Structure 1
């Protein structure tokens, strides 16, 4: 008869509940011969999927027989699965086996998710979510296991029907169970729109709202907000009938968090939720702005809260100013322009990019809004600097602001203030870059043409010399070789109309101011006030 150690060693065979010792040995030998002929990965799969281990006396696999006082390893997963799935396993053993799976999945590197999925235990784990509510330890540990599995595989969890039970657990009596369930749902929803929508089918927001109203702990609140954020994320956005009721509760929660220290993680998730909820039409934006959140966001910027909060804040404000003129005016009136210089000077390239995107929405707004932006000299100087000397993604968004101003209904009033802060140079330098966006290149050429046309009509010498000083003529000349016919045509037109070979008095060429370095223009006197800028655009 095989010793106990030998019996443990050979547990990879196909055991039957009625075989004797001799037949069992023969069965194991035959199985071993068969396995040797298979690939190594097939051996592993067979071990995980075919093993049926039993105690010789009572046909029940107990945790004491599995571990024998040692810590569980990946090799023990099939045995642990047998304990969890066994109809005669004790509640204590099922709980301990689930804990062992959870500990194995908490490994920082290469958690054995596939090993657990391959052993067929997932349906039983999902079933255990619906265990007696008083057995909260088993429910909690099961939800924790599924949370870790969901970091790499949500499809199988959803296929087993876990979404509904997890949503129901959001209102479990145990705060730990509620928190872990929200964590798991957040992991699943973060996998994509399809997974998110499967959860939304079970109406989670009313349950989540209850946890916002009376969170047991700050940690629970953080996971609740993270779950909400992921459920609002993705395109298309969830139907407003689902999300509208939670908007005002989020605003109330924000007020509470602003009075708590060490809350940046929770506040960050809340702000991202608002950024997703504020996407859409004017009615959607209006519903979110009705909470008065734009005033709070601008206050946060002025207080220079951690930069991790700035990205969602700028995204929300950008969504607001992308609405109708009244919505944009509300944000500007709340003090937006006072915050922009700090945002454009952020150490985060993403914040700088998002800020330029927000300004481009204003530049494309009403003439009054574009004029207000143009009057902010510090912003315009920083914007031109971003368009000239930043990461390419930031430069691109900054150029959109400049070209939008020069395409607006106030374009003729834009030229001189823009030139005063070096705007033409930023346009020329952009043509030197690796821009593959044909539409944006055309916008830049159109902006340059607008400047040159204004100079020809309103100055004694025009701005061609300034363009040449920046190297623009040579760059535009090179665009005559561009493969796009429209760009080629625009380059030819600019060169022929504004950069001809006729003689120009060098004494009339723009010169640089010795103090500021800005160009002085031979512009007709009536266009300027005593400071040398258009009267309606005093910086």
Structure 2
């Protein structure tokens, strides 16, 4: 089960844009009929620039916008003929709403082209006007501005940070209101996802703190598409590293993310799994070069994260994943259990026993996938090692689940690491009769 989350997210974003474009324009068929392929583009652009003839100006910009919507749109040719400054001029607040809308749409189509096309739109000075149009009372124009800004932000960290510096965040987040139409909120969620995508460098922490309250609101939204986009945004966000996970850990989002890991709908399950995987990837042991103070800090951080994940319901989800039969889910589950058992204390080991985690781990000891089987053995060893005053309870539970017999069988395994670990467990914890 393979998942390229960024490609899927961007593909869905483009699909939403195209679908919404059709919904926004009732006269799209008439627009298509008005297109004249042999029309002189230079003359058409001149007509758009002619503010003295508003009717002709509107018809011309509609023709340009329609041509830019075509699969083989002459984007570069229009740019070379001077279209961009003309369209940017039409964005200004003293123009008619219909003209602003058509200009915004045309520029959105251009930003859907290549990275170079997007950069040229930015260089023409369109971004400040798009940001201002987020406050427009005309929701069609506002929505087009959201799409354009989403395309620009999604181009990469340089343009992302440029748009943020021009003040996009607050007017964008202000659109998430209880009475706002779902399509607008959905596209805001898509743009937030582009802001959070883990580029190098990732988005500034200050921006993340601005986004967090809105992400919490969006996670409670009843619209499935909005929720899906929000889960992906969070997944991208926690992929940015320790600082971003730390922000998320102290939010109220972790239990909700974990709950969606077990959702029957794959559109929710995949981004939730991806988010938790990103968190678990950051929970690791310090290397040999790490100083004592840094080791202590990492240990405290890891323990704090594990407490939040356990309290958030991760163990219950992990147990279901261990039993699922899906190799990807089982691999995630044993890796999660490895991190939990490395960093938890003896009382948390007891919680794991009460959550019936040992039986599915024992079932994986002779699994077809050797890496998963080996990791399950390591997890059981961690539990025995960390259990201390609960050692007898852990050893007895492994025995009752048939784990001891399987561990004994692993003493003749072809993998040296496996049979040595199996031998260690037997000699260290089962020398006395259970």
State the TM-score, normalizing by the size of structure 1. 0.57
- Per-residue CA distance 1:456-501 (angstroms, 9 max, x = gap): x469xxxxxxxxxxxxxxxxxxxxxxxxxxxxxxxxxxxxxxxxxx
Checking the alignment, whether the CA contact within 8 Å between 2:45 and 2:86 is kept in structure 1 is no
| 1:126 is the counterpart of 2:88 | yes
Equivalences for 1:208-223 in 2 at 5 Å?
208-213=172-177, 216-223=180-187
When residues 409 and 373 of structure 1 are mapped into structure 2, their CA distance, relative to the original with a 3 A threshold, is closer
Checking the alignment, whether the CA contact within 8 Å between 1:311 and 1:351 is kept in structure 2 is no
Secondary structure of 1:203's aligned partner: coil
Distance in 1 (alpha carbons) for counterparts of 2:122 and 2:240: 29
CA shift for structure 1 position 238? 1.6
2:215 — aligned with what?
A: 250
Distance in 1 (alpha carbons) for counterparts of 2:225 and 2:254: 20
Which structure: larger Rg?
A: 1
**Structure with greater helix share of residues:** 2
Counterpart pick for 2:125 among 161, 167, 187: 161
| 1:275 is the counterpart of 2:235 | yes
Equivalences for 1:53-132 in 2 at 5 Å?
71-76=34-39, 78-79=41-42, 81-84=44-47, 86-87=49-50, 90-107=53-70, 109-132=71-94
Distance in 1 (alpha carbons) for counterparts of 2:324 and 2:270: 10
Distance in 2 (alpha carbons) for counterparts of 1:73 and 1:399: 66
Counterpart pick for 2:108 among 123, 126, 147: 147
1:324 — aligned with what?
A: 302
CA shift for structure 1 position 363? 4.6
2:358 — aligned with what?
A: 377
2:247 — aligned with what?
A: 287
Distance in 1 (alpha carbons) for counterparts of 2:192 and 2:232: 10
CA shift for structure 1 position 290? 3.6
When residues 281 and 233 of structure 1 are mapped into structure 2, their CA distance, relative to the original with a 3 A threshold, is closer
CA shift for structure 1 position 362? 2.8
Checking the alignment, whether the CA contact within 8 Å between 1:169 and 1:181 is kept in structure 2 is yes
CA shift for structure 1 position 177? 1.5
CA shift for structure 1 position 406? 7.7
- Per-residue CA distance 1:387-417 (angstroms, 9 max, x = gap): 734xxxxx86x47844864885856989977
More relative contact order, 1 or 2 (CA 8 Å, 6+ apart): 2
Checking the alignment, whether the CA contact within 8 Å between 1:271 and 1:312 is kept in structure 2 is yes
Secondary structure of 1:213's aligned partner: coil
| 1:193 is the counterpart of 2:157 | yes
CA shift for structure 1 position 270? 1.1
Checking the alignment, whether the CA contact within 8 Å between 1:84 and 1:97 is kept in structure 2 is yes
1:314 — aligned with what?
A: 273
Secondary structure of 1:237's aligned partner: coil
1:28 — aligned with what?
A: none
When residues 373 and 379 of structure 1 are mapped into structure 2, their CA distance, relative to the original with a 3 A threshold, is farther
Distance in 2 (alpha carbons) for counterparts of 1:221 and 1:423: 53
Distance in 2 (alpha carbons) for counterparts of 1:116 and 1:428: 72
Q: What value does the CA root-mean-square deviation take over the aligned residues?
A: 4.1
Give 5+ residue unaligned stretches, structure 2. Answer: 1-29, 284-300
Distance in 2 (alpha carbons) for counterparts of 1:115 and 1:200: 30
- Per-residue CA distance 1:240-260 (angstroms, 9 max, x = gap): 2222123123212322x1xx3
CA shift for structure 1 position 289? 3.5
Distance in 1 (alpha carbons) for counterparts of 2:327 and 2:89: 47
Checking the alignment, whether the CA contact within 8 Å between 2:318 and 2:336 is kept in structure 1 is no
1:388 — aligned with what?
A: 368
CA shift for structure 1 position 427? 12
1:366 — aligned with what?
A: 344
Moved more, 182-191 or 446-455: 446-455
Checking the alignment, whether the CA contact within 8 Å between 1:402 and 1:423 is kept in structure 2 is no
1:451 — aligned with what?
A: 422
State the TM-score, normalizing by the size of structure 2. 0.70
CA shift for structure 1 position 314? 2.1
Distance in 2 (alpha carbons) for counterparts of 1:101 and 1:427: 74
Checking the alignment, whether the CA contact within 8 Å between 1:380 and 1:421 is kept in structure 2 is no
Secondary structure of 1:171's aligned partner: coil
CA shift for structure 1 position 147? 1.7
- Per-residue CA distance 1:83-113 (angstroms, 9 max, x = gap): 3554466222222222223223333x44443
CA shift for structure 1 position 300? 3.7
Distance in 1 (alpha carbons) for counterparts of 2:385 and 2:138: 63
